[in-house]
């Protein structure tokens, strides 16, 4: 079957986007992995599926799969591309779009200057809900990995994140600590691992080793989790510019556990294609 898709990225975090409003297909985990392969398939960090909502109060349903075929609860960069996609494809004319995700909902706003803002919902800090194995909730947890003790924050943005503060992201042990922490036994559903360097109370540099995809050029939920972690540690103000290898996101969190994390950044369409599935 020939299926239409669009290749997009958010700061280099790249996606294959398929419209399942006007097309109907079923994808196995193996097929997702094959499509994700940068030699044998299309190549992407995540696959984004655009579907009609199951909840009539929402505009769309938003399903996300990592390159390893695992379905995940949220993708921040993908949410901005989702908004761009449904407007460019005229699947909606709305400026404010509500999408149903595996863990709730996200509200996407396309501003007149083309900036896309996403209400990413409130962070989840209760260890059992992240999930993260811990005696009690804390801003920072000591954790033994690779014969050393690291100190990390554990936060869910719908998907699980660990955030470490490092002196210099360029010298951080992302390639070794990333996979070791991604699959650490204290993260029963695995985790995305952020390495954050504090530049000022309003600016950080961040690299993310993503669950199911490896290090990416940017991670939207990771940027949100990093700002939450920095605020919990008393290191960051409410409005923070997060510099990732692929570019910068603006993240705002007022600091209340019921306050949403707001993320603003770009979304880019690269090409349209068709693929046999």
Ligand X SMILES: N[C@H](CCC[C@H](N)C(=O)O)C(=O)O
Q: Contact positions toward ligand X, by CB under 6 A?
A: 13, 45-46, 66, 72, 75-78, 159, 192, 210-213, 216, 219-221
**66 among the known binding-site residues?**
yes
Name 30's bridge partners.
none
SS3 assignment for 135-158: CCCCCCEEEEECCEEEEEEEEECC
User: Does 76 count as an annotated binding residue?
Assistant: yes
- CB of 165 or CB of 213, closer to ligand X: 213
Give the long-range contacts of residues 119-122, CB within 8 A, separation 24 or more. 119/260, 119/262, 120/74, 120/76, 120/79, 120/157, 120/158, 120/220, 120/221, 120/224, 120/260, 120/261, 120/262, 120/263, 121/157, 121/158, 121/260, 121/261, 122/256, 122/257, 122/258, 122/259, 122/260, 122/261
Q: How far is the CB of 213 from ligand X (least distance, A)?
A: 5
Residue 147 assigned as binding residue: no
90 annotated to a ligand binding site: no
192 annotated as ligand-binding: yes
Query: Hey, which residues are catalytic here?
Result: 75, 219
Query: Least separation, in Å, of the C-beta of 10 and ligand X?
Result: 6
Q: What is the DSSP string of 9-39?
A: EETTEEEEEEE-SS------HHHHHHHH-TT
State the Cα–Cα distance between residues 240 and 179, nearest whole angstrom.
27
Min. distance of Cβ 237 from ligand X in angstroms?
22
Measured from the CB atom, the residue of 143 and 244 that comes closer to ligand X is 244
Of residues 45 and 100, the one with the C-beta less far from ligand X: 45
78/127 with CB nearer ligand X: 78
List, as residue ranges, the binding site for substrate.
13, 46, 66, 76-77, 159, 192, 210-211, 220-221
List, as residue ranges, the binding site.
13, 46, 66, 76-77, 159, 192, 210-211, 220-221
């Amino acid at each position: 079957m020939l299926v239409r898709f669009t290749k997009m990225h958010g700061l280099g975090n790249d996606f294959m986007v398929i419209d399942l409003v006007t097309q109907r297909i079923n994808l196995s985990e193996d097929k997702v992995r094959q499509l994700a392969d940068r030699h044998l398939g299309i190549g992407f960090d995540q696959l984004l599926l655009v579907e009609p909502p199951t909840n009539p109060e929402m505009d769309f349903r938003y399903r996300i799969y990592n390159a390893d075929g695992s379905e995940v609860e949220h993708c921040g960069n993908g949410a901005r591309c989702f908004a761009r996609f449904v407007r460019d494809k005229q699947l909606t004319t709305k400026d404010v779009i509500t999408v149903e995700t595996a863990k709730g909902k996200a509200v996407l706003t396309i501003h007149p200057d083309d900036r896309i803002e996403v209400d990413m919902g409130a962070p989840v800090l209760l260890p059992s809900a992240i999930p993260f194995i811990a005696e009690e909730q804390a801003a920072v947890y000591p954790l033994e990995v690779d014969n050393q003790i690291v100190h990390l924050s554990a936060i869910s943005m719908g998907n699980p994140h660990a955030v470490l503060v490092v002196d210099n992201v360029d010298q951080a042990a992302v390639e070794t600590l990333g996979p070791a922490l991604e699959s650490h036994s204290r993260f029963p559903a695995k985790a995305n691992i952020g390495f954050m360097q504090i530049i000022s109370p309003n600016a950080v540099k961040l690299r993310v080793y993503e669950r199911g995809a490896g290090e990416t050029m940017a991670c939207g939920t990771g940027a949100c989790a990093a700002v939450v972690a920095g605020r919990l540690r008393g290191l960051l103000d409410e409005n923070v510019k997060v510099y990732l290898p692929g570019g910068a996101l603006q993240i705002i969190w007022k600091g209340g556990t019921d306050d949403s994390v707001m993320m603003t950044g770009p979304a880019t369409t690269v090409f349209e294609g068709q693929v046999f599935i």
